[in-house]
Amino acid sequence: MPSTPPLPPFLSLTVPDLDRRVADAVAFYWRSRQAQADKQRESGGADQGARAAVTGGRQMDAFIALVTDLLLAAGIAREHIFVRSRIELPGFFRPTKEWDLLVVRNHQLIVALEAKSQVGPSFGNNFNNRTEEAMGTALDLWTAYREGAFNRSAQPWLGYLFLLDDCAASRKPTHPVAPHFPVLPEFKDASYAQRYELFCRKLVRERQYNAATFLLSDKTKGLGGTYTEPADDLTFRQFARALMAHAAAYGQGR
């Protein structure tokens, strides 16, 4: 009689462990931004203010490290996880696109992750840029997948992780102007925080991404790891479960 297979490793992940790791990633994000901005000011460079923190890059590294550990717990071998290098995928509308994390095993794309953020005070144009980027990236990948650019059979799992600055500007109601036709009801008087929540939810409901998570954190309390999750369907825990369930099917040497 065959022995009972062990429970998947990710089922043993405790709530405090995951919550703590997310808080640590949030704290790392804000401390990295602060350190990059301070370094720019000390060097007397022209790249100042919020842009200095952005162009320093790598603030989302702790989130990428957390996702990597979740994949390892699900049975994915480290050599199949790609971060920083070898993260390009062929596209349909463009030659290649860099992702924040990939899992590639046996010449099959298993996971592709985008980890993005936005900090105030200006949210208008940046919101449009972020949404257009995410939608275009998903369209490019799924079309390339349809055309057989990287997978023979297995359907890849796409994840979208977004951290937004929790401030007065992101919480303030907005009044979109559309002179010819009315905007959809859910966008009327919606703040940028609400817009991003709607956007992440719609990415999943329209099957552009398999899962998304949306976090809010302000730059003062965030230094200590404080964050909120405004939507039950967009929590990091839900995101992690979906990711690990998919990854487990390709781990454990299978």
DSSP 225-237: T--B---GGG-HH
Residues 7-20, mean pLDDT to the nearest whole number: 62
Distance, CA of 77 to CA of 192 (rounded, Å): 39
Tens-place pLDDT, residues 109-162: 999 999 999 998 888 879 999 999 999 999 999 999 999 998 877 899 999 999
The residue among 9 and 40 whose pLDDT is bigger is 40
Please state, rounded to an integer, the average pLDDT across all residues of the chain: 88
Distance, CA of 173 to CA of 189 (rounded, Å): 5
Q: How much is the pLDDT for 94? A: 96
Q: How much is the pLDDT for 235? A: 97
* Residue ranges of domains in the chain: 9-248
Containing 118, the helix (H) or strand (E) segment is strand 108-118
Containing 211, the helix (H) or strand (E) segment is strand 211-217
Distance, CA of 218 to CA of 225 (rounded, Å): 10
pLDDT > 90 fraction of the chain, expressed in percent and rounded = 75
Nearest Cα residue to 101 out of 243, 198, 213: 243
Distance, CA of 169 to CA of 52 (rounded, Å): 20
